[in-house]
Amino acid sequence: MMESRSKCDRFGWIGLAVIAAAMAFSSAAVTADDGADGATLEKQIGEVFIRSMAHWRYNYSKIPPRKAGVACIPWARLDDAFLDSGIFEALGFSYSMAGDEGAIRVATQGCDQMKAHYKVADCDCELVLVGDTVVVKIPDAIGDQQAPN
């Protein structure tokens, strides 16, 4: 005869896992200073962009020059877990442009269009890469809000 368990018994550990994850999320501080591995927040955002491109099966490093990358960055939800394994839900990129300004404009339009198409909320399309250089600007509110006391 099979042992019978209530839903609460079978799935109770899920509730504990959710609570633990929520506690970890609320206590995870992201600052513009160096991360645990010495990477700056700017560099980590660049890495998330590269990972996000790979998710869509694009290799940013193999895209021809005169390129730019823009991502819809969820500043309010940016934490260590996101920086380690998350992806941006909307992004845009361009390549083989006549100049950096054109590359940035086209990449920004792509991000805005993807954000609208997928109805992505709570993020801002921000310039992340020009060529292979990370150029993302961390908003003052993020640095001020996360600064140690």
CA distance 105 to 120: 20
- Region 91-96 average pLDDT: 96
pLDDT bin (cut points 50, 70, 90) of residue 144 is: low
pTM (2 d.p.): 0.72
Q: Is the distance from CB of 69 to CB of 111 less than 8 angstroms? A: no
pLDDT of 22 over the 60 cut: no
Q: Is the distance from CB of 108 to CB of 70 less than 8 angstroms? A: yes
pLDDT bin (cut points 50, 70, 90) of residue 136 is: very high
- Could you tell me the end-to-end alpha-carbon distance of the chain, in angstroms, rounded to an integer? 60
Tokens of 22: 């929520």
CA distance 62 to 3: 56
Spatial CA neighbour of 67 closest among 139, 130, 148: 130
Strand runs labelled E in 16-123: 68-73, 91-94
- Region 42-60 average pLDDT: 97
